[in-house]
Chains A and B, each alone.
Chain A
Amino acid sequence: MTIAAASSRRTTTALLVGPAAIFFVLLLILPLVVVVIYSFGERAPAGGYAPAFTFANYADLASRGKAFLNTLTLAPLGTLLCVVIAYPLAYFLALKASERWRTLLLVLVIVPFWTSQLLRIYAWLLILGHKGIPSFLALIGFDDVRLINTPFAVLVGMVYGYLPLMVFPIYVSLEKLDRRLLEASADLGASPWRTLWQVTLPLSLPGIATGSLLVFILLMGEFIIPAFLGGGKVFFIGNALVDLFLQSRNWPLGAAVSLGLVAIMLVTIVIYMRFVLGRGGDRRVALM
């Protein structure tokens, strides 16, 4: 390529990428830099940020240990439950449902997503509250069952809220499956379970990986579900953060907790991707 052509190529590239770059700098890098700076600051007398340089906030992270723990146990658990519940459904849709119904059933999975998540979670508040399921249980003799404001309620909310997001990637990779492989496996004498375990599951792993990564990321940052269904008793990092900024007004500590959360997520995701996608190479995770 001639020098002129090369530099004009560079200009075009710069123009193409430029606007996006500006967005990233102004709205991602700048805010994150501000957060890092704040995390070394001190709480201003009435709340907010006072310039300083101290590691005290990071030292204080341990005091929020329970919230970190809650998030780190319930988020992966929720993801796992989501996979376990979504997989059979995706399997059914991809391999068992008749052509006619398939699109409709798929659409029916995603339609709940089109109602406000807030409203759907609020509906669960009613279902799990005293006048909902517990009142049914009381009829058959289980008195005083408390379902709301428990980790159970939060799990239900999480699985419910993100099920569609998990079903789709798994469906996509199952759908691409070559049926003949399944037939061959059966022909070679494998039981249906063995086929599932040794053929279907491994081949649909990319879908499972995509879905669980997506859901995991979203669950780690959850705020609404623990807020509504946890009633202040099940606190996620997201809740601790909202409280630190919108009630305690301890911005430096909030900044440190945010970075703590991001760091934990980075580590978990890298480990996960290494584990699931195998060693070596940089596999890009396609979202769709």
Chain B
Amino acid sequence: MRWYASFIYFVLYLPIAIIVIYSFNAGRYAMDWQGFSIQWYFKAFANPFAMNSLKISLTVGLWTAFLATIIGTLAAIGLERMRGWLRQVFDGLIYIAIMVPGVVIGIATLIAFVTVFKAVNPALAHMFGEHAPKLHMGLPTIIGAHVLFNLAVVILIIRSRLAGMDKSLIEASGDLYATPFGTFRQVVLPLLAPAILAGFLLSFTFSFEDFIIAFFVAGPNSTLPIYIFSSIRRGITPEINAIGTVVLVVSLTLLISAQFLLRGNARRPAGGARA
């Protein structure tokens, strides 16, 4: 068993090792080791397009995570209170959003936006003349498309957490004269906290890593995956390896520090509702 696990880990990390090792390659071409060098890290940081796409990925990721988490949590709570056909429609929509492949969502969003913009822009030009706002693909479209998918994920996560929650706690809070909002703030929210955090992290990860949806709806902007993709087409240099390694190291650091923080929190009792 142990051999098997070790083998799996080896295969899992072989490509990563290749990426990291060749980021230190003095030569330009992969598989052609020409000595050790950290020049590519400097080149990557000096490359305005690489840094810009990193910035855009972070911006889009954070916006997506915030919007998806907030809107999703509220929606999940609201959905719990709904019954009947409307609820079923929503459930259906959530599953559709999860099930439709990214490539279809990307394409559908692209052609929908292009059609709408083609229709709306002349009207805007007519109304406002010279300085009419011109709608086009850009950061809002990427964020919008990402939020949609992650919304569904967040709703599912929160909902399963809500389903597993002890309803008697809410009743007890009501019996103790707490307002509905107070109950929400002091009972429900803390209990939901891990799920909300999980939703946030997941949304950020999906958005940061996403290539296929952004590929279609990014317009002139370039997220990091788009930049990497076009670099591979251009002829990859170890700059890309350097960027990949940096992202890896940063996320590892975040993960480890999150681990320490959570361990610190775990000492305290969960919930915290004191009579």
In the complex, is A directly touching B at CB under 8 Å? yes
Which residues in A have some Cβ–Cβ distance to B below 8 Å?
Answer: 9, 12-17, 19-21, 23-24, 26-32, 34-35, 38, 49, 85, 88-89, 91-93, 96, 103, 105, 107-109, 111-120, 122-124, 126-127, 129, 131-132, 160, 163-164, 217-218, 220-221, 223-224, 228, 238, 241-242, 245, 251, 254-255, 258, 261-262, 265-266, 269, 284, 286-288
Given contacts A38-B111, A286-B160, 20 further A-B contacts (CB under 8 A): A16-B81, A23-B151, A24-B90, A24-B148, A27-B147, A34-B108, A35-B108, A107-B255, A109-B12, A112-B13, A116-B209, A118-B232, A119-B241, A123-B15, A123-B16, A126-B30, A160-B15, A218-B101, A224-B212, A265-B99
Question: Contacts A31-B111, A126-B18, A241-B103 hold; do A26 and B97 have CB atoms under 8 A apart?
Answer: no
Smallest CB gap from B88: residue in A: A282
The 9 nearest A-B residue pairs measured at CB: A221-B101, A16-B78, A123-B15, A20-B75, A31-B108, A17-B78, A31-B112, A114-B251, A27-B148
In the complex where A92-B1, A217-B99 touch, is A126 in contact with B31 (Cβ < 8 A)? yes
Instruction: Knowing A24-B93, A115-B19, A288-B160 are in contact, say whether A217-B72 is a contact too (CB < 8 A).
Output: no
A265 touches B244 (CB 8 A): no
Any chain A CB within 8 A of the CB of B5?
Answer: yes
Task: Give the A-binding residues of B (Cβ under 8 A).
Answer: 1-2, 4-5, 8-9, 11-16, 18-19, 30-31, 71-72, 74-75, 77-79, 81-82, 90, 93, 96-105, 107-112, 115, 144-145, 147-148, 151, 153, 155-157, 159-160, 198, 205, 209, 211-212, 216, 224-225, 228-229, 232, 236, 240-241, 244, 247-248, 251-252, 255, 259
Dominant secondary structure of chain B at its interface with chain A: helix
Do B211 and A224 touch (CB < 8 A)?
A: yes
* Residue among B2, B103, B255 with max Cβ neighbours from chain A (10 Å): B103
**A-B CB pair tally, cutoff 8 Å:** 217
User: Which residue of A has the minimal Cβ distance to B97?
Assistant: A28
Q: Chain B residue with minimal CB distance to A123?
A: B15
Q: Is the CB of B212 within 8 A of A287?
A: no
Which of A12, A122, A245, A265 has the largest count of B CB atoms less than 10 A from its CB? A122
Whether the Cβ atoms of A221 and B103 lie closer than 8 Å is yes
